[in-house]
Structure 1
């Protein structure tokens, strides 16, 4: 699918999710996360992972060609990968959480 017709998923990560010094790490984490996310559903989705400095903004937004999509419009696109907005957000947040653990070097 041409990149101009791909679904752009804007994923906002709160600095606090990276711990008490998250503000010091969130920008660098987003660089790493962007590289990681570009491999997920890349035939349909272009990801943009950014810090969520403004908590009034949602954690996830959907766009095509720079135009914001409603939930209904996003869900119509997500059907192509057997997802809906909720399941994609759940999947994305699991990836974010796992990647934060790896980024911070947590050992379990």
Structure 2
């Protein structure tokens, strides 16, 4: 199944510099570039990893066709594909953890 880009759910995942350790602030920009290149999005989604400098903004922001979605709307989107959003987010967190390990081992 192939979706065109405007029908895919887009997840902007704002990564906390602190998750990269005490020197995270000096690594966060480069790590986000690394994550964008190495963490592959599923067919129904597009991932965008960005630094989270502003704590007022949520860690995850879902959107479709440039329109932000509430958590309820995002859940409905995932329900359409018979995907549990909580499990999806947990798996993505694991992928991010592995990417952090690989980033520092390169």
> How far is the alpha carbon of 1:53 from its aligned partner?
0.7
Task: Encode CA deviations 1:25-55: one digit per residue, 9 max, x unaligned.
Answer: 1101001101123x231x1101110001112
Rounded to whole Å, the distance in 2 between the matches of 1:93 and 1:52 is 15
TM-score by length of 2: 0.88
CA contact (8 A) 1:60 1:89 kept: no
For structure 2, which runs of at least 5 residues remain unmatched after alignment?
none
2:41 counterpart residue number? 40
Q: CA deviation at 1:98?
A: 0.9
SS of structure 1 residue aligned to 2:41? coil
Provide the alpha-carbon RMSD of the alignment.
1.6
Secondary structure at 1:48's aligned position in 2? strand
**Alpha-carbon distance in 2 for matches of 1:71, 1:84:** 13
- The separation in 2 between residues aligned to 1:61 and 1:53, in whole angstroms, is 14
Matches within 5 A, 1:1-108: 1-37=3-39, 39-41=40-42, 43-105=43-105
* CA distance in 1 between partners of 2:90 and 2:14 (Å): 13
Mapped to 2, the partners of 1:101 and 1:45 lie a distance apart of 24
Could you list the structure 1 runs, at least 4 aligned residues long, displaced by more than 4 angstroms after superposition: none
Shift of 1:57: 1.6
Q: Distance in 2 between matches of 1:31 and 1:82?
A: 30
Q: Aligned partners of 1:87, 1:61: CA distance in 2, in Å?
A: 17
